[in-house]
Chain A
Amino acid sequence: EPEVTQTPSHQVTQMGQEVILRCVPISNHLYFYWYRQILGQKVEFLVSFYNNEISEKSEIFDDQFSVERPDGSNFTLKIRSTKLEDSAMYFCASKKGGENTEAFFGQGTRLTVV
Chain B
Amino acid sequence: AQKITQTQPGMFVQEKEAVTLDCTYDTSDPSYGLFWYKQPSSGEMIFLIYQGSYDQQNATEGRYSLNFQKARKSANLVISASQLGDSAMYFCAMREGGTGRRALTFGSGTRLQVQP
Contacts and interface: CB of A to CB of B under 8 A. Distances in A.
A99 B33 contact: yes
Interface in B16-57: 31, 33, 35, 37, 42-47, 50, 52
A93 B107 CA distance: 17
Interface string B97-116: 11111111111110000000
4 smallest CB-CB distances across A and B, nearest first, come from: A99-B100, A105-B45, A45-B103, A43-B106
Interface of A: 31, 33, 35, 41-45, 48, 50, 55-56, 58, 89, 91, 93, 95, 97-108, 110
B91 interface: yes
Interface of B: 31, 33, 35, 37, 42-47, 50, 52, 91, 93, 95, 97-109
Contact of B103 (A42, A48, A107, A110): A48
A99 B47 contact: no
A42 B91 contact: yes
Q: Is the interface of A mostly helix, strand, loop or mixed?
A: strand
B109 A100 contact: no
B91 A43 contact: yes
A91 B108 contact: no
Contacts of A93: 45
A103 B102 CA distance: 11
A99 B35 contact: no
Interface-centre pick from A45, A95, A102, A107 (highest chain B CB count, 10 A): A102
Contacts of B35: 102
A102 B47 contact: yes
Contact of B106 (A31, A44, A58, A97): A44
Contacts of B91: 42-43
Nearest to A101: B100
A100 B49 CA distance: 11
Given A42-B106, A100-B33, A95 B100 contact: yes
